[in-house]
Chain A
Amino acid sequence: MNLVSYDDAMASYDPVMGLEVHVELGTKTKMFCGCSTTLGAEPNSQTCPTCLGLPGSLPVVNAIGVESAIKIGLALNCEIAQWCRFARKNYFYPDMPKNFQTSQYDEPIAFNGYLDVQLEDGEIFRVQIERAHMEEDTGKSSHIGGATGRIHGASHSLLDYNRAGIPLIEIVTKPIEGAGVRAPEVAKAYVAELRELIKALGVSEARMDKGQMRCDVNLSLRPHGREKFGTRSETKNVNSLRSVERAARFEIMRHATVLDDGGTIVQETRHFHEEDGSTTAGRIKDNAEDYRYFPEPDLVPIAPARAWVEELRAALPELPRLRRARLQGEWGLSDQDMQSVLNAGAVQPILETIAAGAPADQARKWWMGELARRANESGTDLSEQPITPGQVARVCALVAEGKLNDKLARQVIEGVLAGQGEPDEVVAARGLAVVSDDSALGAAVDQAIADNPAIADKIRDGKVAAVGALVGAVMKTTRGQADAARVKDLLLQKLGAA
């Protein structure tokens, strides 16, 4: 399909988005039973009658799950329900043990909030929050024997219920209107801000690559000037910040193409493809899909005591946006520099590097320079680089002590990233220490003077600035390992210009 360009799409239409984000809570046990939530265990080893939905089993609410939901609600400026209930969402799927999901329907624990997100140019966009509610995750199906890993064409499927019953918080925005051409950017910024918020609250690691945070992008277009929303598509499980932006962008262009052709958008779920940033049709969501919600009779209603809610509100951590403003001041950065740090996802690594003893400017320099470049090249998150803030801080310390220069430090970092051990181990193994021993440097200095008599004469005549060329020559013969400051001193001494 030939898509109309993004600019052409925006010239005719106004996008309306709805974002649904599922966050897997980091509780030790599942939402309704005592099973462990640790990832990566032997399939079906972390199960019990309740999360397997065995006949007769009953759920009991995880209090930490409720507390986490309230914290998220408060941080999103939501009202916290005086009284709310769980509801059953009924549908059949083999990885759902009870064939209903215990969720919340018209009585969510938190509702009516907002989240302010900062766009790349510093502008604040307010995303209205419809609700945040508690529910349980499903099991996991693996379809074996097909070409695509999808159920279609598979010879059989394997079911792992370790994930079944892990607590989820679903956060749903109100329709996001008025973002215009920046809708994809708003979508990305919202998910990024939400992720920071969740991490700051300490309720989940919110790793999108591990499925701890999953985003559905609902999108529709309407011609400019029209009030009524168009038909929406629901792009499911868009699982990185970049993908959220790309999915929104692609859907805008796809909708525009269909509408320009006089076609109609089908209400359907769509799959996002990382490889080319496109989406393809999944299941058609006609109105026959009816979840037959009703209040969960196996769980008593939840009525969070107001005093408890206020306690949780008072204990909320500094919210990411305010924290960023504070850090910008502390680090003395311009808006633009701070924005670069944010865009690179470098705040936390820098903070942790500072905490490990590095000066702020040095910490920022390495994360925003060498490491950001590598993350960019490999298309991974900065926080996922195989180097710890402690290791970066150690490199900074070695530089400060004069044991490494910047060039050597880059090689040390490369070694750490390549899995060659701690910075000091890389220095030792690769012999990367700066040479500042006069006897070791003397020969190289003499050689440089002998090789460049004209420059040496200029220096003898007082043109001290010309020493740089000789320093460069020494660095070259020592393969960058010489202590440049010491080399300069030695040269000037020998040429009588000191």
Chain B
Amino acid sequence: MTDLIKYTAADTAAAIASGQVSAVEVAQAHLDRIDAVDKKVNAFLHVDTEGALAAARAVDDRRAKGEELGPLAGVPLALKDVFTTKGVPTTCGSKILEGWIPPYDATLTSRLKDAGVVILGKTNMDEFAMGSSTENSAYGPTGNPWDLSRIPGGSGGGSAAALAAYEAPLAIGTDTGGSIRQPGAVTGTVGVKPTYGSVSRYGLVAFSSSLDQGGPCARTVLDAALLHEAIAGHDPLDSTSIDAPVPAVVAAAKLRDVRGMRIGVVKEFAGEGYQAGVMQRFNESVELLRELGAEVVEVSCPSFTLALPAYYLIAPSEASSNLARFDAMRYGLRVGDDGTRSAEDVTALTREAGFGPEVKRRIILGTYALSSGYYDAYYGSAQKVRTLISRDFDAAFAGVDVLISPTTPTTAFPIGERADDPMAMYLADLCTIPSNLAGNAAMSLPCGLAPEDNLPVGLQIIAPAMADDRLYRVGGAVEAALNDKWGHPLLEEAPAL
């Protein structure tokens, strides 16, 4: 077995289950890869070598005893540093949580452990998931394995880069406005935002509670589906968790047949600001779907143009409240506690030193939007826009099974290019935000390289809430057809690190 790191998760699990390779060997291969390339990529904030090897050994022991192993047993995974891990640091990419060791596992973390998944470590992210480039991490930016001088997307740039750099076959992200899908798009990997409420948020450090959703990241649609099934399902610890069976996403990923499906192209997601090569690859995908037997129609969702401003009121509003708990009293950073200062002063000094500029910007924005006298105009109006967007989706889904669009208007931009221009940065999430506001399901998968820069382009598929299986059905078919056309997965065209 050479090149264990290039295996898909499905193949890795099969190889371990059949005894071709041990889980420890697989884990060690990935730890070695991280050792070799992560100084350049900076995908990981924390590598849990001992924990990973212990988890791998446990899988090997279970196999040796003849126990049945789950479909992902022994498969390594890179976990976004926004999920709590008992005994393992969790920083959310922020200085304010430096050194915090959570005393409890997120529900998602427990489910991964129960499934025998080997957690390699915690991945880099924009601070508290606020950003689209991972440049807002307090621990330095992550490079895009396609071009290390470019951003890997964000906020989950670490997870996406870890996949593209073959540091892990699986990763976990969270998607509040596109933080799984946009990194997936710009790194040539697959990312899924499941239906809001289908993956527990217990132990997911909140950015915007009504929008945050954990989800799977992988190099193939089937791997994403396997991970989706491992982490989704009702959790009594999360009041917003949906108590219904998880859609059969693995079966859908294997179907590879879109004949008879009706697919809508969102008219509003095109035009100014969309890179030519992105639109070219997207339009080719539309043609491909037609060739595969789907019926493709144009759909208008006029309220989607209001999604970005609504998002930038709702998300910062909730964040201003969610992040209030970081006050130096109970955990994390504490600045200025020299015995002479009041609790208020220590809190203020800690927040001043511990939060980065983008987090402060959003806390201030959200505090303002919720203030008495402004609430109705800002937060209240934004909630109304949210309703309008849901209605647009409802109307669209009355006529089509899924919607498609480019995932993000451009390919990966150079690190630093938009750092001083928040508005330009926010536009990266233009196409992904409506699904967060409506709470439905969406996927990004690679659909080619933009001719002008040879960088990956993402195709976004959106399905109604709790119809996540449709994402995998369409995604699996597109992926198979494209791989046939290219003769190999897109990622093989990435330069060696």
Binding site for B on A (CB under 8 A): 49, 52-61, 88, 90, 92, 94, 97-100, 157, 159, 290, 292-294, 297-300
Indicate whether B110 reaches chain A with its CB closer than 8 angstroms. Answer: no
- Chain A nearest CB: distance from B275 CB in Å? 34
Q: Select from chain B the residue with minimum beta-carbon distance to A34.
A: B237
Rounded to whole Å, the gap between the CB of A160 and the closest CB of chain B is 12
Is the CB–CB distance between B325 and A292 below 8 Å?
Answer: no
Complex Cα spacing A60 to B237, Å = 6
Task: Tell me the complex Cα distance, A297–B209, Å.
Answer: 6
Residues of B within 8 Å of A, CB-based: how many? 44
Partner of B239, one of A55, A92, A300: A300
Determine the distance from Cα of A87 to Cα of B50 in the docked complex, in whole angstroms: 43
Q: Is the CB of B379 within 8 A of A299?
A: no
List residues of chain B with CB within 8 A of the CB of A52: 330
Please, which residues of chain A bring their CB within 8 A of the CB of B286?
none
Chain B residue with Cβ nearest A292 = B370
Report chain B residues within 8 Å CB of A88. Answer: 321
Chain B residue with Cβ nearest A159: B329
Q: What is the bound-complex CA distance between A90 and B84, given in angstroms? A: 24
Contact A94 B327 (CB under 8 A): yes
Q: Which of B202, B329, B379 contacts A57 (CB 8 A)?
A: B202
Contact A58 B84 (CB under 8 A): no
For the complex, give the distance between the alpha carbons of A304 and B102 in Å: 36
| Across-interface contacts of B371 in A (CB, < 8 A) | 290, 292
* Complex: A292 Cα to B318 Cα, angstroms: 11
Contact check, A56 vs B206: say whether CB atoms are below 8 A apart: yes
B330 close to A56 (CB less than 8 A): no
**Given the known A-B contacts A292-B367, A297-B209, are A100 and B239 also in contact in the complex, defined by CB atoms under 8 Å?**
no
Is B343 an interface residue, CB under 8 A from the partner?
yes
Across-interface contacts of A60 in B (CB, < 8 A): 236-239
Bound: A290/B347 CA distance, A: 19
Q: Are B103 and A157 in contact (CB under 8 A)?
A: no
Q: Is there an interface contact between A290 and B372, defined as CB atoms closer than 8 Å?
A: yes
| Contact (Cβ within 8 A) A92 B344 | yes
A-B contacts besides A59-B239, A294-B318, 6 pairs, CB < 8 Å: A56-B84, A56-B205, A90-B370, A99-B325, A292-B372, A297-B318
- For the complex of A and B, the 5 pairs showing the least CB-CB separation, nearest first, are A99-B324, A297-B210, A292-B370, A297-B209, A56-B203
Cβ contact within 8 Å between A92 and B324: yes
Chain B residues with Cβ under 8 A from A290's Cβ? Answer: 371-372
Give the residue name and chain of the B residue nearest to A300 (CB): B239
Min CB distance B140 to A, Å, is 22
Q: Cα distance A60–B107 when bound, in Å? A: 14
Interface residues of B in 91-144 (CB under 8 A from A): 92, 97, 100, 102-104, 106
In Å, the complex CA distance between A157 and B339 comes to 12
CB of B30 closer than 8 Å to a CB of A: no
Contact B370 A57 (CB under 8 A): no
**24 CB < 8 A contacts A-B:** A54-B84, A54-B104, A55-B97, A55-B205, A55-B325, A56-B90, A57-B104, A57-B202, A58-B201, A58-B202, A58-B237, A60-B237, A61-B239, A90-B324, A92-B327, A92-B347, A94-B329, A100-B321, A100-B324, A159-B329, A294-B317, A294-B318, A299-B240, A300-B239
Residues of B within 8 A of A294 (CB): 317-318, 321, 370, 375, 379
Chain A residues lying within 8 Å of B347, measured Cβ to Cβ, are 92
- Chain B 362-392, CB-CB to A under 8 Å as 1, else 0, gives 0000010011100100010000000000000
Q: State the CA gap A49–B238 with chains docked (Å).
A: 13
Which B residues form the contact surface with A (CB < 8 A)? 83-84, 90, 92, 97, 100, 102-104, 106, 201-206, 208-210, 236-240, 317-318, 320-321, 324-327, 329-331, 343-344, 347, 367, 370-372, 375, 379
Q: Which residues of A contact B240 (CB under 8 A)?
A: 297-300
Q: Which residue of chain B has the shortest Cβ distance to A52 in the bound complex?
A: B330
Q: Which residues of A contact B330 (CB under 8 A)?
A: 52-54, 97
User: Which chain B residues lie closer than 8 Å to A53 at the CB level?
Assistant: 325, 330
Known: A55-B205, A56-B205, A300-B240. A49 touches B103 (CB 8 A): yes
Beyond A90-B324, A294-B370, is A54–B103 a contact (Cβ under 8 Å)? Answer: yes
B102 to chain A, nearest CB (A): 7
Looking at the assembled complex, report how far the CB atom of B49 sits from the nearest CB atom of chain A, in whole angstroms. Answer: 24
With known contacts A292-B371, A294-B321, A56–B204 Cβ distance under 8 A: yes
Q: Are A58 and B238 in contact (CB under 8 A)?
A: yes
Measured between beta carbons, the chain B residues less than 8 angstroms from A59 are: 239
Q: How far is the CA of A299 from the CA of B347 in the complex (A)?
A: 28
Cα distance A60–B202 in the bound complex, in angstroms = 10
Asked whether A97 and B103 contact (CB < 8 A) given A57-B202, A60-B237, A90-B370, the answer is: no
Q: Write out the residue numbers on chain B whose beta carbons fall within 8 Å of the beta carbon of A299.
A: 239-240
* B92 engages A55 (CB within 8 Å): yes
Closest CB of chain B to A26's CB: distance in Å? 23
Question: Are A55 and B102 closer than 8 Å at their CB atoms?
Answer: yes
Q: Given the interface contacts A297-B209, A297-B318, does A54 sit within 8 Å of B331 by beta carbon?
A: yes
Contacts of B203 in A (CB 8 A): 56-57
- Nearest residue in A to B346 (C-beta to C-beta)? A94
With A90-B324, A97-B325: A56-B237 Cβ-Cβ less than 8 Å: no
Question: In the complex, A309→B203 CA distance in Å?
Answer: 34
